[in-house]
Every structure is written in structure tokens, then in C-alpha cells.
Structure 1
Amino acid sequence: MLETSARLLRLLSLLQAHREWSGPELAARLGVTGRTVRRDVERLRELGYPVNATPGTGGGYRLGAGAELPPLLLDDDEAVAVAVGLRTAAGHGVEGIGESSVRALAKLEQVLPGRLRRRVSALNAFTVPMLRTPDDRIDPAVLTELANACRDAERLRFEYRDHSGAATRRTVEPHRLVCSERRWYLVAWDVDRADWRTFRADRIVPKPPHGPRFPPRDPPAEDLAAYVAKGVSTGAYATEATVRLHVPLAEAASAVGILDGVLTAEGERSCLLRTGAPGLDAMVVHVSLLGLEFEVVDPPELADRVRTLRDRLSRALDRQDLDRPGGAPAAGP
């Protein structure tokens, strides 16, 4: 009986971790016959778990949606990871997620064995988070609606406000949601503009009804995270520039965030940064505040602005030195 119960738990764990299993795959994983798998599936159904079966050579078993969430089967490391993740998810990027995380954590901690509760408590007690709360949070219902449209390949209609506050109506074929440290972005094919676009999810106001369904397109890039990073850090600005950072790529990556620009390797001791800003003066400040040694690659006008700022700062320091007590008189106009 103990062996059978352990096998049922293992079977339930497999069904939770995989979208669909064939009978032979489950039999091989459990080390039993196909007949035993069918019998165990019937036992799970008797216990209230909705295990769906699809007949035929391409069929298999999957855990369907039920009235209640089945118990999660987690090993020690997984349980600790989930508990710590829930505790640190204090609403960063998604409105109201902090309260939901606290409720879920309370339920999880009730069933954690003592040894795991001590591990979680120690990790949280001696960890100080340095996470920034975004200014513009997104409603979880909106995020779910966007994700469902991506999953179902269904045209999406919404009102969108750009960075200046101007509102437009959009009809898109949603592809994927991409999340950064602070924000969520929707990558979608804009039907009216016949091109790929990236939208900040917190600026989207869905306008149902949605539809119809559409055949999925090839994505705009293999690495969607890099695609979005380029769009939000460079393409969204009137002025673009490339600078050479005189540090290894790994060191630059620790200082350059997704909103700062896109890094590419160049050599062992340098890398290139492609970035954007509202204008050349703002670009000089933006690159300087990265705190890394750099030189301008493009455009030449940016190098001229750097020289102008260098000369202005030098004159300011010269005047300060001359005005000190005991120094030479300050130069006239």
C-alpha cells in the first residue's frame, strides 16, 4: 500500500510538471506497465483529480483544470525557493501582488516542515533587499488579459498612451510579454502600421471584444529580451549614439541596465554600448553617469559636446582655484 501511494504521488507530480505524457512515457518514468499506469490514473480520478486522456497514437494524459488547485509536490530546495520568492515579491511591477504573495506564503508555511521553516526564516532574517518599487504598476487583470491573448493568438484592441501622454487606439497581434526588473512590455505586430512594436504594459487599457484569431508570425528576433532592450533604450529616443567602454563586457554589464542601452562584445578589455537620449547634451550626461571610461564612436557631434563640457568644467575648476585665499586673482571677462 505504501509503495502504491508513493507511486501515485510520483504520477501526480509528473502530471503537474509536464503538459502531456504518453502512456509509455509514464510507464517508463514510474517503472511499471502501461496497465498499471491506467489503473493509477483511475485512482487519481477517484480522488478528485481531473486527469484527461486523449486516445490514439498521438494521445496521452494531462492534468485538467479542476475546481480546486491540487497540492503542489515540492522537494526541499523547491519549497525554500518558492517561500523566499513569495516573501520578496512585494508588488514589484504588478499592482496588488504583495498582498497575494503574503496570503500564499501563509498557506505554504503552514505545511512546511520545521527544518524548512527554519531555513526560510534564517534566509529572510539575514537578507536586506535593495529592490526598487516601480512608479507605474500594472493591474494583474490586465497582465492576465494580455497573456491570454498571446496564448490564444487572438487579436487585441487597446488604448495606448505614449511617454508624452498622447492616446491612440491600437489593434495588434500579440506575440509575447517581456519583463524587466521594473516593467512589463508587450511585443506585438501592429496591424495598422504593418510592423512589430513594443508597448509598455502599464500604458495599455484593453478595449474588448478581442479577436479574431490569427496565424502566428515569425518573431521579430530570436532574443526577444535583447529586442525589447534595444527598443526601450535606443529606438525610443530622438538621438542615438555608440560609445566604446574601456572595460570588459562582464564589468560593463554590471553597470549598464536594460534601460541604459545594448552592449556588444568587442575585445577582452572593451565593449560597445548603443544607447539613446532626448538630445546630445542629455546623451553626454547619460553616458558620463555610468561611471565607466569611454570614448565616442558615433556620431561625431557627440564628441564635440563632450569637448565643450570638458572645457566648461575645466574653466569652472580654474576659477575656483584662482578664487581661493592666497591664490592669483580671478581672471576678468
Structure 2
Amino acid sequence: MNRTARLYALVEELRAVAPRPLTVAALAARFEVHTRTVQRDLQTLMQTGVPVRSIPGRGGGWSIDPKMTLPPIHFTADEASALTAALAAAGACTPYAGATRTAAQKIVASMAGPASAAAQELAARIVALPAHGDSAIRSAVEQALADTMVLRLSYTDAAGHESDRVVEPAGLLTADGRWYLIAWCRTRRAGRGFRLDRIAAAAPTGEQARPHDVTGLLLGSAAAGAVPPEALAPLRP
């Protein structure tokens, strides 16, 4: 059993008896591996956000919240390959890049059979040039969007002109592999798009922003024809 399959199996083993805990020794015997291997696997699951926890003392061990785990996902081989390609496109400049990695680990751990094999086979054949992005800037933008907070930006436009802006974030636009923060710019008193890799600094002001409609801010711009991605239709209310 490879490590990915074992991680998934550990989750299912803990789920089967939850909320009762299992000891590391019992899990090691179940999967015929050393206790140190199980301990490392459990720490990996915890670090990637799987709700496993250690219960100390007599009768303790490791347990999982069964309501917060993924059941087995029965992807087709094509669906698994499509997901692999989509995940490969998430680089350092992509919004929520860090969360993408942990989400991918959870999804991969829930795959089995032909889908898992197809994903692993394609993953071994994809390469990418390293992308460089400032994680602090990306995190500030993500948090501002989540909390609807005003941001102060230092920005360099396509012509190389630098400026400081105070903006009210509305959403994100993706086009030709680039990501843009769409916001109401208080400095320009209009809707503007700020390419994420051209933002030199981003700092929250602590001020609550007014709500803005993304498509409304794009009216009259080169991106006025932007529409919600079809792949995200199942997530939209």
C-alpha cells in the first residue's frame, strides 16, 4: 500500500470507530507498518486539516470527527485527470494557493482504484516553471475579500507607473492565466482591476468596505464581457 492510499485508509479506519479512539500500535498492526510510520502519517493528516486529534491517557489514542471528513469519492479516470491538471495550474501567484495544496491532499486521500492511478500517472507527466509570488500580499488580498475590508495597495501598472491606492475589494477575475483583484478604487473613484503579480504591497486598513458587484465594476472596461466560470456553477447559489 503506498502512502497516499494508507493516509486515506487511516482516515477511514478512524471514521469506522469514531468517536472511539484507536492507538498507534493498533493502527500500525492493522497496516503492517512501524508505529513511527503511523505517527508521521497522523501528524501529516493533522497538518493538512483533517480533523484527527490525539487523546492522552489510559484509553486514549487517535480519533476523528466523522462529520468533518470526506467520504470516498468515486471519480472516473477522466475526472481525476481533469482535477490533476487544474491543481497543477495553481501556482504561487494563484489566490488561495496554500489552501489548494491542503485541499488537494484531502481529495487525493479519498480517491481509490482507477481514478487514483490515473491521477498519479498524469501527475508524473506534468512539469511547470516555478512561479514567484509574495505570500504576504496574497494572504492580505484573500483576507480582505473574506472579511470585506478596505486595502491599501502599492501598485505598478502595465506602463511601469507606481502608485498608492486605497481600494474596496469586490472579487477576482482570471484571464489568460493571470489573476486580478477587482475593486472600487477610492483614489480613482472608479472600478479597477489590479493584477496580483503587480501589487508590490498590500495592507489591511481595518475599515469595513462597502459591498460591490464584480460585474458592475467591470462595465466599460476591457473585461466587461467576463462571465462566471461554468466549472463553478455547482458552487453558485
Change in CA separation of 1:161 and 1:142 when aligned onto 2, cut-off 3 Å: same
For residues 35-46 of structure 1, what are the structure 2 equivalents within 5 Å? none
Q: In structure 2, how many angstroms separate the alpha carbons of the residues matched to 1:225 and 1:68?
A: 42
Structure 1 unaligned runs (5+)?
A: 1-8, 13-43, 49-66, 233-333
Q: How many residues align?
A: 169
Q: In structure 1, how many angstroms separate the alpha carbons of the residues matched to 2:223 and 2:128?
A: 19
Task: Name the residue aligned to 1:309.
Answer: none
Query: Which residue, 70, 83, 90 being the options, matches 1:72?
Result: 70
Task: Name the residue aligned to 1:94.
Answer: 92
Task: Name the residue aligned to 1:115.
Answer: 114
Q: In structure 1, how many angstroms separate the alpha carbons of the residues matched to 2:108 and 2:212?
A: 44
CA contact (8 A) 2:171 2:214 kept: no
CA contact (8 A) 1:138 1:202 kept: yes
Task: Name the residue aligned to 1:173.
Answer: 168
- Give CA-to-partner distance per residue, 1:188-234, whole Å, 9 cap, x none: 11112211111111111334242310231344528x599562599xx
Identical positions, percent: 26
Task: Name the residue aligned to 1:272.
Answer: none
Task: Name the residue aligned to 1:201.
Answer: 196
CA contact (8 A) 2:152 2:167 kept: yes
Deviates more, 1:166-175 or 1:208-217: 208-217
C-alpha displacement of 1:182: 1.1
Change in CA separation of 1:204 and 1:77 when aligned onto 2, cut-off 3 Å: same
Task: Name the residue aligned to 2:26.
Answer: none
CA contact (8 A) 1:87 1:101 kept: no
TM-score (norm 1): 0.38
CA contact (8 A) 1:178 1:185 kept: yes
Change in CA separation of 1:74 and 1:81 when aligned onto 2, cut-off 3 Å: farther
Q: In structure 2, how many angstroms separate the alpha carbons of the residues matched to 1:220 and 1:144?
A: 23
Change in CA separation of 1:77 and 1:153 when aligned onto 2, cut-off 3 Å: same
Q: What SS is found at the alignment partner of 1:77? A: coil
Q: In structure 2, how many angstroms separate the alpha carbons of the residues matched to 1:47 and 1:226?
A: 59
TM-score (norm 2): 0.51
Q: What SS is found at the alignment partner of 1:150? A: helix
For residues 127-138 of structure 1, what are the structure 2 equivalents within 5 Å? 137-138=132-133
Q: In structure 1, how many angstroms separate the alpha carbons of the residues matched to 2:213 and 2:97?
A: 36
Q: In structure 2, how many angstroms separate the alpha carbons of the residues matched to 1:81 and 1:74?
A: 14
Query: Which residue, 212, 218, 229 being the options, matches 2:223?
Result: 229
Higher relative contact order (CA 8 A, sep 6+): 2
CA contact (8 A) 1:172 1:190 kept: yes
Q: In structure 2, how many angstroms separate the alpha carbons of the residues matched to 1:177 and 1:206?
A: 17
CA contact (8 A) 1:93 1:133 kept: no
C-alpha displacement of 1:162: 1.0
CA contact (8 A) 1:133 1:182 kept: no
Q: In structure 2, how many angstroms separate the alpha carbons of the residues matched to 1:183 and 1:147?
A: 16
Q: In structure 2, how many angstroms separate the alpha carbons of the residues matched to 1:77 and 1:225?
A: 39
Task: Name the residue aligned to 1:153.
Answer: 148
- Which residue identity is paired with 1:116? A
Q: In structure 2, how many angstroms separate the alpha carbons of the residues matched to 1:174 and 1:168?
A: 17
- Give CA-to-partner distance per residue, 1:90-135, whole Å, 9 cap, x none: 355534999997887677555532333334356x28x987x9969x
For residues 308-319 of structure 1, what are the structure 2 equivalents within 5 Å? none
- Which residue identity is paired with 1:120? A
CA contact (8 A) 1:94 1:137 kept: yes
User: What's the C-alpha RMSD, in Å, of the aligned pairs?
Assistant: 4.8
For residues 243-262 of structure 1, what are the structure 2 equivalents within 5 Å? none
Q: What SS is found at the alignment partner of 1:116? A: helix
Change in CA separation of 1:194 and 1:105 when aligned onto 2, cut-off 3 Å: closer
- Give CA-to-partner distance per residue, 1:9-64, whole Å, 9 cap, x none: 9xx9xxxxxxxxxxxxxxxxxxxxxxxxxxxxxxx8x579xxxxxxxxxxxxxxxx
CA contact (8 A) 2:93 2:197 kept: no
Q: In structure 2, how many angstroms separate the alpha carbons of the residues matched to 1:203 and 1:231?
A: 23
- Which residue identity is paired with 2:116? R
